[in-house]
Amino acid sequence: MLGKIFNIFAPSKAAPEPSLPAGERVYAIGDIHGRLDLFEALLSRIEADEATRPAARTTIVLLGDLIDRGPHSAQVIARARQLARDRTVEILSGNHEEMFLTCLTDAQAMPSFLKFGGLETFQSYGLDMDALLERPVEELQAHIAARLPVEDLDFVRSFKKLVRIGDYVFVHAGLRPGVPLAMQLLSDCRWIREPFLSHSGAFEGFVVHGHTITQEPDLRSNRLGIDTGAYLHGCLTAIGIEGTNRWFLSAREEANDSGTQEASPTTAQANTAGTPAQVA
């Protein structure tokens, strides 16, 4: 099971349960952060879950921050590209994708990106960062930019700000309260924490997001956070949605008999809540 059960922050009785149109199903996956092992395990869990349910038009939503921190960002990008060829997939841009693209054109952004997981991302592309870090930052930037695959950069640039499906709004970080959906700033969609996290009023749809790590999915009356810390806690979470029903799927890192870590899939009903942790 996916952790212990918490009390639900129940929606107002006057507010209908959010739903998807008939015949549609969505699986939204939280922040992967270079954990290819957990990503593959969770995709397998989604395929197994689909096989137990009636046929539907299924969309997989990746909530952003596919890269950084974990060891296999390049491989996660490649797997996401393959997935987008094989399935109906929506991919959102997170703050880490923003930093990744920005540091290739703005040398001043490079040190911050390297500090917050970019070092691992560049290493996943086979770059010898120990040698490269001895170079001036402008030279480092030019060297890296010239050696990253153009198709990967174009793919990351194609990631969306947000996606709306039925009564649900999928976004990386969150929304600015009181701002119409069409006027939400890209910076807020990728970076916001407050006042989004503490807002108890309605948005233009039930918001499913990542960005802010909680040990368990953070279910509130107006939003659901599913960044359960793939790189920090070894748990990658997805939410399945069909009609008014929701359920959780996850892949967890577990120690095997030799003491090494392996990814293991789990499932649970969508009735847990967590406490946000302020992790960049």
Paired sense of beta strands 261-269 and 168-171, if any: unpaired
DSSP assignment letter at 92? B
Spell out a b/e string for 106-135, using b for 16 or more CB atoms within 10 Å of the CB, else e: eeebbeebbeebbbbbbbbbebebeebeee
| Tokens 């950069």 sit on residue | 153
Sheet strand arrangement including 218-219: 162-165, 168-171, 206-209, 223-225, 218-219
Q: Which one, of 6, 72, 59, lies nearest residue 33 by Cα?
A: 72
List 170's β-bridge partners, or say none.
Answer: 163, 208
In tens, the pLDDT along 148-175 reads 999 999 999 999 999 999 999 999 999 9
Q: Is 263 helix (H, G, I), strand (E, B) or coil?
A: strand
Helix (H) or strand (E) holding 94: none
How would residue 279 be classed by pLDDT, with cut points 50, 70 and 90?
Answer: very low
**Phi first, then psi: what are they for 85, rounded to 5°?**
-75, -30
Q: Is 155 helix (H, G, I), strand (E, B) or coil?
A: helix
Q: What is the pTM of this model?
A: 0.89
Q: What is the rounded distance in angstroms from the CA atom of residue 230 to the CA atom of residue 213?
A: 9
Tokens representing residue 151 in the block: 């198709």
Q: What is the rounded distance in angstroms from the CA atom of residue 215 to the CA atom of residue 197?
A: 16
How would residue 264 be classed by pLDDT, with cut points 50, 70 and 90?
Answer: low
In tens, the pLDDT along 221-252 reads 999 999 999 999 999 999 999 999 999 999 99
Residue 276 pLDDT > 90: no
In tens, the pLDDT along 201-219 reads 999 999 999 999 999 999 9
List 92's β-bridge partners, or say none.
Answer: 160
Asked, as a colleague might, if the bond just before 16 is cis with ω within 30 of 0, I would say no
Residue type at 110 in one-letter notation: M
| Tokens 């009023």 sit on residue | 201
Q: What is the rounded distance in angstroms from the CA atom of residue 49 to the CA atom of residue 152?
A: 30
Top pLDDT among 139 and 15 is at 139
Helices (H), the chain: 36-51, 73-86, 95-103, 110-113, 119-124, 129-132, 137-147, 150-157, 186-191
In tens, the pLDDT along 40-98 reads 999 999 999 999 999 999 999 999 999 999 999 999 999 999 999 999 999 999 999 99
Top pLDDT among 10 and 106 is at 106
Write the CA distances from 79 to 145, 155, 235, integer angstroms: 21, 12, 18
Domains of the chain: 24-269 (3.60.21.10)
Q: Is 209 helix (H, G, I), strand (E, B) or coil?
A: strand
CB contact at 8 A, 34 and 52: no
